[in-house]
Amino acid sequence: MLNVSVNCLDRQVHICPERVALIWERDERGSEVRYTYRQLLEMTCRVGNLLKRHGVRKGDCVTIYMPTCPLAVASMLACARIGAAHNVVFAGFSADALAERIRDAQSSIVITMNQGVRGGKVTELKKTVDTAVQSCPTVRHVVLEASLDDLVSLRQLYHERGMKYLSVDQICVFGTDLTLQEMLKEDVVCEPAAMNSEDVLFLLYTSGSTGKPKGLVHTQAGYLLYAALTQRYVFSYHDGDVFGCVADIGWITGHSYIVYGPLANGATTVLFESTPVYPDPGRYWETVERLKINQFYGAPTAIRLLLKYGDQWVNKYDRSSLKTLGSVGEPINTEAWEWYHRVVGEGRCPVVDTWWQTETGGICIAPKPSEPDEEIVPGMAMRPFFGIKPVLMDTEGKVLTANNTSGALCIAQPWPGMARTIHNNHERFIETYCQPYPGYFFTGDGAYRSPKGYYQITGRLDDVINVSGHRIGTAEIEDVVCPAVAESAVIGYSHDIKGQGIYAFVVLKKNMKIKEEDLYKQLNSVVSEKIAKYACPDFILLVKRLPKTRSGKIMRRVLRKVVESDLDSLGDLSTLDDPAAVQEIIEGHAKISMNNCLKSQINTFL
Ligand code: AMP
C-alpha cells in the first residue's frame, strides 16, 4: 500500500519542510512565486478536504482544466491523496473536446479557473468549462479558482510600481460556483488514502488513429517509481538542483517531469506558464539565469523557432547553472540539436533526446544514463533505459536482429511506468498495443537501429500527426471537418518549425458555393471550436475529388508524396479509381503560397 502524495510531499516535508518545491514562473517575466514543500502539502490537503467535503470518493475521477500553476499541481496531488483519479485536460482544448473527455471519464467535478494568461493573452477558461458541462450530465460541481480580471489590471499596476505580483490565492474573488477561496477554510491535514500499487492514479487522453481520443490509465507505484528514476538518471539530477521542464501540465511530460518525478525526488521544479517568445525570444534563457535552472527540458519546436531568432538572445544571459539539456515530444533535427548543444549549452552540457509517449509513462530511450565518456550522437535517442527492451519488427511481424536496420518499434517486456489500459475500453488497448505484434508492446513509431546499436526514432507509423510535440489523429480532424464539406483527407507534412504541419484536402458538397477564403475561415473555426487551435490545418486544398482505390480507400500515400514533392515515387496509379484526380492535386498544391506557412509558424506559440 502507498500514497503517491505522501511520497511526493510528506516525505520531503519530514526532511526539509522549507525546501522550495515549486517555482511558478508566471507569464510576466520576473513575477515568479515560490512554494515550499510545506506550503504545497498544506494546499494539497486543503484541496483534498474540499473535494472530499463535496462528495469526491476513492475511485472517482476529477477533471482538471487549468494552466500550469501551483493550484493545478495541488489539485493533482489532492486527488492522489484522497484516492481519486485525475483527468487533466490541456487548457488549450475547446469546450467540445473538454466535454468529450469529461463524459468519457465520468467526472463529477471539474476544477478550473476563470481565466488563464499566456504570452500576454487571456483565455476564458471558465466560459469554456461552462459550455462543456452543459453536455456532461455527471458533473455536479465546478470548482473555480480566482479571477484573473483582477490579476490583469493588477498586473499593470504592479508593473508600474516595479513590484512582484501577489499569488493568486491572495486575491481570490467569489464566483457563483464553488470557489477555492473556500479551500482556505479547510484543514491543512488530510488523511492520505491507502492505495494499492495497481489502483488508478490518473487518466490522460491522447489521440489515436480513430476519431475518438483514448483515456490512458496510469497506476500508482510503478508509474511513480518510473517517473522518479528516469528524472534522476536521464537528467543526472542531484539533490538541490532546480529542474526546469517547460512543458504544459496538460500533457504527459508535465505529469511526469514537472510534477511526479521531480517531487518524488524532492526537487525544486519550475512551472513555466509563458511562451518561449514572450515578451521576447530571450525568455527561456533569462528564466534560466534568474531561477538558476540546472536541467532544462523543452521541445524541438521551440528550439527550432529560437534558433531562427539568432544567438544574441541566448548569449545575453548567464547559463552557467545549466548541466543537462533535454528534448522531448518529437524528433530533433541535427541542426537544432547542434545549436542547442553549442549555443545554449556552450558545448558543455549533454543534450538528451528523450523518446517516450503518453503510453510509456516515462522516458524509455535516451542517451543517458551512460558511462561519462560514452558518445552522444546528435538527433538520436540512442539507449534504452533500465528495464526497457526495444525491438524492431519487419512488416511480417518478425523481429529484426541485425543492426543498421529500420522497423516498427516495439518493447519486449513490461516496465513499471507503462499504461495499464484505456479507460472503459480495454479491448482497444489490446487491439492497439498488443495485437499488432503478439507478445510485444507496439509503440506506433518507427525506428532505425544504427550499426552501433543506437536507436533513432523515425516517426509515427499510424495516422497520427505530431504538431509541435502535440499528437493529433488525422481522423479526429477529418471527423470534425466533414459536416462542412463532402469529404476530406488530412495528412501531416514536414514543417521546419513545428516538426509536422497539417494539410487538409477537401471536396465541397454538391452545389455548394462558397469563396475559398470563407471556406478556410469556416474550417479553421470548426476545428478550433471542436478540438483546439493547434489542430487547425496549415494548408487547405480544395479539390474536386480525392485519389481513391476502386474499393473507395483514400490513397494518403499519394497525397503525402505530392506534398513532399516526391512525384517520382507516386507509384502505380493505375489501381486508382480516377487517376486524373492526382494531376489536379499536383497542380493545386503547386499554387499554394508559402506565405501561409510562415503565418502558421508564427502562430505556433501565440
Ligand atoms: P505523446 O504521447 O503526446 O507524448 O506523443 C508521443 C509521440 O511523440 C511518440 O509516439 C513519438 O511519435 C513522438 N516522440 C516523442 N518523443 C520523441 C523523440 N524524442 N523523438 C522522436 N519522436 C518522439
- Mean pLDDT value across the chain: 90
Q: Cα-Cα-Cα-Cα dihedral of 180, 161, 242, 206, to 10°?
A: 50
Residue 473's Cα: distance from chain center in Å? 14
In this prediction, residue 590 carries a pLDDT of 87
- 466: CA distance to ligand 1 center in Å? 8
The verdict on the CB of residue 214 being under 6 Å from ligand 1 is: no
468: left (phi over 0), alpha (psi -120 to 50) or beta: left
Buried b (16+ CB within 10 A) or exposed e, 311-324: eebbeebebebbbb
Q: Band the pLDDT of 579: cuts 50, 70, 90.
A: confident
Q: What average pLDDT does range 252-260 have in this prediction?
A: 98
Q: Tell me: the pLDDT tens digits for 45-56?
A: 999 999 998 899
Distance 309 CA to ligand 1 centre (A): 25
Distance 329 CA to ligand 1 centre (A): 4
CB atoms within 10 A of CB 577: 15
Residues contacting 338, CB < 8 A, separation 6+:
378
Predicted local confidence at residue 257, as pLDDT:
98
231 or 603: which leads in pLDDT = 231
Q: Quick one: pLDDT at residue 180? A: 66
Pair 8, 276: CB distance under 8 Å: no
* 240: helix, strand or coil: coil
pLDDT digit string, tens, across residues 368-422: 999 988 999 999 999 999 999 999 999 999 999 999 999 999 999 999 999 999 9
Report the pLDDT averaged over residues 291-320. 97
In this predicted structure, the answer to whether residue 10 has a pLDDT above a threshold of 50 is: yes
Among 200-204, 419-423, 490-494, the minimum mean pLDDT is found in 490-494
Q: Does 598 score more than 70 pLDDT?
A: no
CB 464 less than 6 A from any atom of ligand 1:
no
Mutate to test the pocket of ligand 1, among 357, 442, 443, 470 (most ligand atoms within 8 A of CB): 357
pLDDT at 534: 93
Ligand 1: residue whose CA is nearest its atom 3: 471
Which three cell numbers mark 73?
A: 499541481
Q: For residue 459, report the distance from its CA to the centre of ligand 1, in Å.
A: 8
Q: How far is CA 87 from CA 81, 214, 282, 538, in A?
A: 15, 12, 33, 29
Burial of 130 (0-12, 13-18, 19+ CB in 10 A): middle
Distance between CA atoms of 580 and 583, rounded to whole angstroms?
A: 5
Ligand 1 centre distance from Cα of residue 445 (Å): 8
- Considering only CA atoms, which residue is closest to atom 20 of ligand 1? 331
How far apart CA 239 and CA 255 sit, in angstroms, is 20
What are 343's three cell numbers? 549555443
- Rg of the chain over Cα atoms, rounded to whole angstroms, equals 24
> What is the pLDDT confidence band of residue 175, given thresholds at 50, 70 and 90?
very low
Structure confidence at residue 51 (pLDDT): 93
pLDDT at 346: 98
Q: For residue 444, which atom of ligand 1 is closest to its CA?
A: 10
Q: Is the dihedral of CA 407, 408, 414, 418 positive or negative?
A: positive
The DSSP secondary structure of 333-401, one letter per residue, reads -HHHHHHIIIIISTTTS-EEEEB--GGGSS--EES-SS-TT----TT--BEEPTT--EEEE-TTSPEE-
Nearest residue CA, atom 15 of ligand 1?
329
356 CA from centroid of ligand 1 (Å)? 6
- Among protein residues, the one with the nearest Cα to ligand 1's atom 10 is 357
- Looking at residue 191, what DSSP letter applies? P
| pLDDT tens, residue by residue, 176-193 | 456 666 777 889 999 999
Query: In this structure, what DSSP letter does residue 167 have?
Result: P
pLDDT greater than 80 at residue 363:
yes
Q: Is 358 in the pocket of ligand 1 (CB under 6 A)?
A: yes
Query: Is the confidence at residue 222, as pLDDT, over 90?
Result: yes
Separation CA 6–CA 24 (nearest Å): 22
Give the mutation target among 457, 498, 500 for probing the ligand 1 site: most ligand atoms within 8 A of CB: 457
> How far, in Å, from the CA of 369 to the mean position of ligand 1?
19
Nearest alpha-carbon partner for 82 in 227, 204, 189, 216: 189
Q: What is the reported pLDDT for 163?
A: 41
Out of 449-463, 464-478, 539-553, which region has the weakest mean confidence (pLDDT)?
539-553
Ligand 1: residue whose CA is nearest its atom 11? 330
Residue-wise pLDDT for 261-289, tens only, equals 999 999 999 999 999 999 999 999 999 99
pLDDT at res. 572: 78
What is the structure's pLDDT at 548?
A: 87
Residue nearest to atom 9 of ligand 1 (CA): 357
Which pLDDT score is estimated for 176?
A: 40
Q: Which atom of ligand 1 is nearest to the CA of 464?
A: 12
Ligand 1 near 28 CB (within 6 A): no
- Residue 149 predicted with pLDDT over 70: no
- Residue, of 33 and 571, whose pLDDT is higher: 33
Residue bearing cell 469546450: 95
pTM metric for this prediction: 0.90
Q: How confident is residue 114, by pLDDT bands cut at 50, 70 and 90? A: confident
Quote the CA–CA distance of 80 and 86 in Å, as a whole number. 8
Residue 205 three-state SS:
strand
- The band of 498, judged by pLDDT with boundaries at 50, 70 and 90, is very high
Q: Given this model, what pLDDT does residue 596 score?
A: 54
Calculate the CA 24 to chain-centre distance. Answer: 19
pLDDT band per the 50, 70, 90 thresholds, residue 567: confident
Point out the ligand 1 atom lying closest to the alpha carbon of residue 252.
4
CA distance 290 to 299: 21
Written as nine digits, the cell of 4 is 503517491
Q: Ligand 1, closest atom to CA 470?
A: 3
- Asked whether 445 lines ligand 1 (CB < 6 A), one says yes
Q: Is 305 strand, coil or helix? A: helix
Question: Percent of the chain beyond pLDDT 70?
Answer: 91
pLDDT band at 334 (very low <50, low <70, confident <90, very high): very high
Provide the 10 A C-beta neighbour count for residue 598.
11
pLDDT at 520 over 90: no
With a cut of 90, say whether residue 574 has pLDDT above it: no
Distance CA 549, CA 528 (A): 31
Q: Give the nearest ligand 1 atom to 359 CA.
A: 2
For residue 292, is pLDDT > 90?
A: yes
DSSP at 568: G
Is 274 a pocket residue for ligand 1 (Cβ < 6 Å)? no
Amino acid making up residue 435: Q
433-457 average pLDDT score? 97
354 Cα–ligand 1 center, Å:
9
**Residue 324: which of 379, 364, 368 has the closest Cα?**
368
Cα 286 to chain centroid distance, Å, stands at 23
Q: How many C-beta neighbours within 10 Å does residue 187 have?
A: 11
H or E segment and range at residue 289: helix 283-291
